[in-house]
Structure 1
Amino acid sequence: MALAQRLDLRQAQTLVMTPQLQQAIKLLQLSNIELSDFVDREIEQNPLLERDSGPSDGGSDPVVNGEAAGGLDGPGGAEPGSSLADSFNGRDDGPAPPPSDGRTRDTVELTSSDTMGASSESPLDTDFENVYSDDRFSDGSDGGNEVYGSYNERGGRSGFEDDDSNLEATLTGQISLRDHLTEQLKIDLPEHGDQLIGLALIDMLDEAGWLTGFDAAALAEQLGCDAERVERVLAACQRFDPPGIFARSLKECLGIQLREKNRLDPAMQALLDNLELLAARNLPAIMKVCGVDAEDVADMVSDIRKLNPKPALLFDHTPAQLVTPDILMRANPGGGWLIDLNPDTLPRVLVNQRYFARISDVARNKADKDYLSEKFQSANWLVKSLHQRATTILKVASEIIRQQDAFFIHGVSHLKPLILRDIAEAIGMHESTVSRVTTNKFMATQRGVFELKYFFTSAIQGADGQAAHSAEAVRHRIKAMIDAEKAEDVLSDDKLVDILRAEGIDIARRTVAKYREAMKIPSSVQRRRAKMSRM
């Protein structure tokens, strides 16, 4: 066979992940806090980007969401009404109409319901297809229940109360556990060497206030002292406030507190030595071990319940970080639901096109011009990606609300089984895109704040072989039946299976046991003992 060179033409389709597309996909899965940090870093690195802190004073002529808000002065600027972001979808629609009051619109306003764009502006997906042209849906299954999707107008909450107060600003300073123990250490152990050992013990405390895995010999070797001295300092520290601090186990923690209350008698010590019997609520075995009757056991258990097994939690209060929802939902007075994207989680990012024109006019060498062009294109891409991220979140959330309409009306018992593929097929997006949208995104509803992932649950087959039930709804039903049971009629796992099957839910006993254990509900034997002990 002869060897020869030849030139062939071949046609193939490939998906090219450009850096801009990778950035857009990355933004989609960020939480609102991560997104704010990302935007701050971009603003630091890009001189053409800035945050909008209020109405424009006319000193600049920025590009918002990739659309020019006004013309440019000087030969170095772009043509009026054009921007690099317009090439993102291969179009040139001209500038967005300015507001009637002459101020510059920001990211939130240009993504409002009346400026979301026509069908050519698709929400973010891996192939940038699947048009989203209307924010209004109608579900015929519930008599025309409607979902409206929109962004809030600038500065408003679209019906939600606007409260700018900062809860964290009202918190008062509190003394830490370390400071509290150090003050007692200086008073009770005046010797400097003992104080050094005490400080080492304080540093070894875990979040509960215990010395988990404590080894006196190892600490003595580390500090260059005798193990007996470490034990002596530890015994002194165990008398500190709060009671139970510096304990090495639950038994020792409870014993320290009972000794403080003068309740550590031989019967109580026997109970502490057999805490596993108390956990199992084995009343006959406890009576036998402690040598007391049922009334004394009830008094002993009552004393133990008043103790604090984690004394350190009384200090070092960390304010709970409140979840800021990305989506705000409320009932529509005319029927259906109203859904808005939270303006507090939407970065107000501006691209200062006039500044770009001014510095482009003075740039002389090619390196400077290339740098400015790169930063201008990067800024427009970022703002365009933010716009598409918001559009995609709104579309996915609207479809979730439409499919889980019964949940919002009747509660968790009517939660439908739902998977990512169901939403992806309904809105014409890729399943991976829906997964990114629902990661670390929260929605505020009239039933509370839920992560979007909450609405996706596996299905449990119905007894008729057709209807399916949400696993979350089944768990809720199991908990409701257990909460309503009486001491003389405690429901076993087998009994729960029979009741659920009678209600049309085909479920195995091991599945009921798995759901019960996941909700930290004791077995029927333990529940019966607990209920009988309260009688």
Structure 2
Amino acid sequence: MALSAKLQLRQSQSLVMTPQLMQSIKLLQLTHVELERFVDEEIERNPLLERVDPQEDAATDQVHKSREEEIRTDDWYQPDGSATSETMSAQLDTSLENVFPDDPGAAPRLGPDLAAQWKSAGSGGGGDSDGFDLEDIAAARLTLRDHVSEQIAFAFANAASRLIAHELADGLDDAGYFRGDGADIVERLGAQPREVEAVLATCRTFDPPGLFARDLADCLGLQLARANRLDPAMRTLLAHLDLLARRDFQALKRLCGVDEEDLLDMLAEIRTLDPRPGTAFSVGAIDTIVADVEVKPAGDGSWAVELNPETLPRVLVDQIYFAQVSSQTKNAGERDFLAECLQNANWLTRSLDQRAKTILKVASEIVRQQDAFLLHGVRHLRPLNLRTVADAIGMHESTVSRVTSNKYMLTPRGVFELRYFFTASIASAAGGDAHSSEAVRDRIRQMIEEEASEDVLSDDAIVDRLKGEGVDIARRTVAKYREGMNIPSSVQRRREKRAMSSVGSR
């Protein structure tokens, strides 16, 4: 067969991911913190981008509009609009549950008179707000290291002992446990092992009790020893905290050699101790959740869905600066650079505007789908998936997935991640509408909270009750939901409720 060259015409379709399209997709899934960082980087790279304070928004737009009418530009200069959005933010307080009471204390506060003096000094005694505001300055809290250092200064007169103590203090974690290596300190400082152990023994007497403990049992033991309550029975109990976690009270009574009454006294005393004495001095930053969308009742009985401007940065294209510079630019390279900057700036503002509209569109459909939840609570949360929302608003499922990632909605019932409203469907036993898995979880939680010590519900009993309420659910699903909510089994709950009822009746 002879080889020959020939021309063929073919027609095909392909999707080309341009850098601008990739940028728009990326912006959809960014959190507001990541978005702010991204915009700051773009503003640093692009001289035609500027950030506008929302309070100056109207005035800035008017100035730009009036000045643009006075400037003559080249034919290839095409002004473009900018993104706007609206309204409200929220903060979600979170708390940490623990089997032990947790009272880390409050940050020190200045009195009103002293605060007023600071504010007056910061503003130079004048009425303007150019000076600093006391509310903008976080009160310095006493750290765990500072607290320990103060006690070291009084506990050790010898400079070498103080140096060893400070090295030991460097080995404390946030809970106040000693995680360092004594042998390493001996090697680095050239000290004697018995000297390091003696300094550590003194440090273990510091306040609050429990500092420099090796583990939880040691921490509780230090606190009990300080109260002169570390008897042999209590030592045995601390050595078997795993049995306490499993609520195996029969085994504990046998090992400790005590009756039920004494064991209940010991458990009540254990609950008064602090398993993390160092957390009272924690200075870690508290992560706050800022809602991207706010939902509130409208006057006509529907829901008003609005965007939070704090999560959508206000960015404008400085078209005036571009016109001024381009009119004086003669070099072709500089002219091309300005053209590229203008194109990128316009694309960014359009992408931010499109991102805001997409978030609002998805959030509005979620509100429409979950109207019953907003009115009546979690029991009325409907089963919902990404495809349902995507089909309703004419978008791709992957777009909805990106929009709902790490975005939050402020509702009259609290702040929820948008993903919260997408739950699996559980069939109805009566053949009616399906039930949301989150609503079923809430019903299981309520059943367990209302159970009495003499009538603790097993997983099978919960299944029977749910089926009586029209929920067709398997036992293994109930067990999975219960374990996901960190709820112990019926055997463990029965032991704990009986113990608590015995303590309460005394």
Output the TM-score relative to the length of structure 2: 0.84
Structure 2 distance, partners of 1:368, 1:282, is 78
Q: 1:352 aligns with which of 311, 314, 318?
A: 318
- Which residue in 2 is equivalent to 1:178? 145
Shift of 1:415: 1.1
- Which residue in 2 is equivalent to 1:312? 278
1:189 aligns with 2:156: yes
SS of residue matched to 1:362: coil
Q: 2:397 aligns with which of 425, 428, 431?
A: 431
- Which residue in 2 is equivalent to 1:107? 83
Structure 1 distance, partners of 2:205, 2:338, is 68
SS of residue matched to 2:327: helix
Shift of 1:348: 1.2
Structure 2 distance, partners of 1:260, 1:336, is 61
Shift of 1:501: 1.9
Could you report, residue by residue, the CA deviation over 1:467-521 in whole angstroms, capped at 9, with x for unpaired residues? Answer: 4221111111110000000111000111111111222222222221121111111
Structure 2 distance, partners of 1:364, 1:448, is 58
Contact 1:61–1:69, Cα closer than 8 Å, also in 2: yes
Q: What amino acid maps onto 1:28 in structure 2?
A: L
Distance 1:356 1:498, change over 3 A: same
Structure 2 distance, partners of 1:73, 1:350, is 18
Structure 2 distance, partners of 1:59, 1:457, is 43
Shift of 1:191: 2.6
Distance 1:464 1:504, change over 3 A: same
- Which residue in 2 is equivalent to 1:484? 450
Structure 2 distance, partners of 1:506, 1:522, is 23
Structure 2 distance, partners of 1:400, 1:303, is 49
Distance 1:55 1:492, change over 3 A: closer
Q: How does 1:153-302 map to 2 (within 5 A)?
A: 169=136, 171-212=138-179, 215-302=181-268
Structure 1 distance, partners of 2:251, 2:230, is 20
Structure 2 distance, partners of 1:498, 1:57, is 65
Distance 1:310 1:279, change over 3 A: same
Structure 2 distance, partners of 1:15, 1:62, is 38
- Which residue in 2 is equivalent to 1:402? 368
Contact 1:61–1:352, Cα closer than 8 Å, also in 2: no
SS of residue matched to 1:73: coil
Shift of 1:78: 5.3
Judge which range, 412-421 or 194-203, deviates more: 194-203
Could you report, residue by residue, the CA deviation over 1:83-113 in whole angstroms, capped at 9, with x for unpaired residues? Answer: 3x5xxxxxxxxxx7xxxxxxxxx632xx5xx
- Which residue in 2 is equivalent to 1:19? 19
Q: How many residues align?
A: 456
Structure 1 distance, partners of 2:352, 2:299, is 31
SS of residue matched to 1:107: coil
Contact 2:67–2:320, Cα closer than 8 Å, also in 1: no
Q: What amino acid maps onto 1:228 in structure 2?
A: R
Structure 1 distance, partners of 2:225, 2:67, is 75
Q: What amino acid maps onto 2:51 in structure 1?
A: R
- Which residue in 1 is equivalent to 2:71? 73
Contact 1:281–1:530, Cα closer than 8 Å, also in 2: yes
Shift of 1:167: 11
Shift of 1:58: 7.3
Could you report, residue by residue, the CA deviation over 1:247-269 in whole angstroms, capped at 9, with x for unpaired residues? Answer: 11111000000111111122222
Structure 2 distance, partners of 1:249, 1:319, is 25
- Which residue in 1 is equivalent to 2:31? 31
Could you report, residue by residue, the CA deviation over 1:336-369 in whole angstroms, capped at 9, with x for unpaired residues? Answer: 1011001222211111111111100111111110
Could you report, residue by residue, the CA deviation over 1:373-396 in whole angstroms, capped at 9, with x for unpaired residues? Answer: 011111101000000000000000
Structure 1 distance, partners of 2:71, 2:385, is 53
Structure 1 distance, partners of 2:218, 2:147, is 21
Distance 1:351 1:61, change over 3 A: farther
Structure 2 distance, partners of 1:198, 1:329, is 55
- Which residue in 2 is equivalent to 1:495? 461
Structure 2 distance, partners of 1:237, 1:60, is 67
Q: What amino acid maps onto 1:50 in structure 2?
A: E
Residue segments in structure 2 that go unaligned for 5+ positions in a row: 90-132, 502-506
Contact 1:74–1:358, Cα closer than 8 Å, also in 2: no
Seq. identity, %? 53
- Which residue in 2 is equivalent to 1:386? 352
Q: What amino acid maps onto 1:238 in structure 2?
A: R
SS of residue matched to 1:450: strand
Distance 1:7 1:168, change over 3 A: farther
Q: What amino acid maps onto 1:451 in structure 2?
A: E
SS of residue matched to 2:304: strand
SS of residue matched to 1:263: coil
Judge which range, 495-504 or 190-199, deviates more: 190-199
Contact 1:416–1:470, Cα closer than 8 Å, also in 2: yes
Structure 2 distance, partners of 1:408, 1:414, is 9
Q: What amino acid maps onto 2:150 in structure 1?
A: E
Could you report, residue by residue, the CA deviation over 1:149-193 in whole angstroms, capped at 9, with x for unpaired residues? Answer: xx45xxxx59xxxxxxx9973752211101111121222123333
Contact 2:374–2:413, Cα closer than 8 Å, also in 1: yes
Distance 1:406 1:3, change over 3 A: same
Contact 2:68–2:320, Cα closer than 8 Å, also in 1: no
Contact 1:77–1:358, Cα closer than 8 Å, also in 2: no
Contact 1:419–1:458, Cα closer than 8 Å, also in 2: yes
Q: What amino acid maps onto 2:168 in structure 1?
A: L
Q: Which has the higher helix share?
A: 2
Judge which range, 278-287 or 492-501, deviates more: 278-287
Structure 2 distance, partners of 1:467, 1:527, is 33
Residue segments in structure 1 that go unaligned for 5+ positions in a row: 86-95, 97-105, 112-150, 159-165
Could you report, residue by residue, the CA deviation over 1:11-42 in whole angstroms, capped at 9, with x for unpaired residues? Answer: 11111111111111111111111111111111
- Which residue in 2 is equivalent to 1:143? none
- Which residue in 1 is equivalent to 2:115? none
CA RMSD in angstroms, aligned pairs only:
2.4
Shift of 1:425: 1.3
Q: What amino acid maps onto 2:69 in structure 1?
A: G
